[in-house]
Amino acid sequence: MITVTILGAGNVATHLYKAFTKANNVTVSQWYNRSLKPLNHYKNEVDITDDLNHLKEADVYILAVSDDAVAELSEKLPFENKIVVHTSGSVNVHDLDKKHNRGVFYPLQSFSKTAQLDFANVPICIETVNKPDYHILKALALAIGSPVKKVNSDQRQVLHLAAVFVNNFTNQLYRIGHEITESEGAEFDLLKPLILETAKKIQDLSPYKAQTGPAKRNDKKTLKKHLSILNNQDHKAIYNLLTKSIQKTHNGR
């Protein structure tokens, strides 16, 4: 049995709490937040607190708080030599106070409080300052059904950066697709199967091999036509830049 204390009550904390509660060999011994309000809903299931001095003994303390709060909160913890991890893609493991056995338990997914999420689809990237601590964090991730990967700080940073490209930026391309279609009274919904297929395709095929379209074919007529349809200058600039990027990747232009 692994005992865990969760600190924070946001998206990640809430999803982790639910997953740990369902897991066989994990007990959430306590849930802390600086204010009790978001925790009150769970007070009949788990010991909740807003007082760091009331924190009980646990195998692992998970700081699922805003990036900027990680360092300060870790400092304020009134104990030492326990495993303390944060869940951030970009905070350095050394930002945690060095009185702790420091580590990172970074879930590489996009969480929102409402949406359901199966942790089988949430790879956990683990880093530990002390080698032996890796095993207990790995066991914790496996207990909730997540794939596990040992990832150092540099790798975690580029994963977080790459996540911005494939998640935030991709979503913005969907947004632009939405604007373009609705501006002509066409339905964005018609693009949804294509969007899903595009994401599914690269589950087995490299994005390099999966590429198609006028930019890759250097189909000048279509490229010109598309630019003439776009009347938003920002969309034009994005069209030009990503077209160039594709051509550089595929034709060395």
Ligand X SMILES: NC(=O)c1ccc[n+]([C@@H]2O[C@H](COP(=O)([O-])OP(=O)(O)OC[C@H]3O[C@@H](n4cnc5c(N)ncnc54)[C@H](OP(=O)(O)O)[C@@H]3O)[C@@H](O)[C@H]2O)c1
User: Cβ of residue 140: shortest distance to ligand X, in angstroms?
Assistant: 16
Q: Which of 54, 72, 76, 196 binds its own copies (CB under 8 A)?
A: 196
The DSSP code for 134 is H
Measured between alpha carbons, how far is 17 from 1 in angstroms, rounded to an integer?
16
CB contact set of 124 (below 8 Å; sequence gap of 6+): 105, 106, 107, 108, 137, 141, 146, 147, 148, 149
| Of the residues 2, 3, 10, 97, which one makes contact with ligand X according to CB under 6 A | 10
CB under 5 to 8 A by kind: which of ligand X, its own copies, none does 35 bind?
Answer: ligand X
9 binding ligand X? (CB under 6 A): yes
Return the residues of window 16-75 that contact its own copies according to CB under 8 A.
67-68
Number of residues that bind its own copies (CB under 8 A): 90
**Partner touching 50 among its own copies, ligand X, none, CB below 5 to 8 Å by kind:** none
Verify binding: residue 88, ligand X, rule CB under 6 A: yes
215 binds, among its own copies, ligand X, none (CB under 5 to 8 A by kind): its own copies
Q: Which two tokens stand for residue 7?
A: 């600190």
According to CB under 6 A, which one of 25, 40, 79, 110 is a site residue for ligand X? 110
Least Å from the CB of residue 133 to its own copies: 21
Instruction: Note every long-range contact of 162-165, with CB atoms under 8 Å and residues 24 or more positions apart, other chains counting.
Output: 163/89, 163/108, 163/110
Interface with its own copies, residue 166, by CB under 8 A: yes
Please tell me the count of residues contacting ligand X according to CB under 6 A: 23
Task: Give the bridge partners for 84, in sequence order.
Answer: 61, 102
Nearer to its own copies, 84 or 180 (CB): 180
Task: Name every residue whose Cβ is closer than 8 Å to that of residue 1 and which is 6 or more positions away in sequence.
Answer: 25, 26, 27
187 forms part of the interface with its own copies (CB under 8 A): yes
Cα 240 to its chain centre, rounded Å, is 29
Q: Residue 224's binding partner, choosing from its own copies, ligand X, none, with beta-carbon cut-off 5 to 8 A by kind?
A: none
Q: How far is CA 53 from the centre of its chain?
A: 30
Find the Cα–Cα–Cα–Cα dihedral 142, 148, 150, 151, rounded to 10°. Answer: -130
Candidate list 50, 54, 94, 158; residue touching its own copies; CB under 8 A: 158
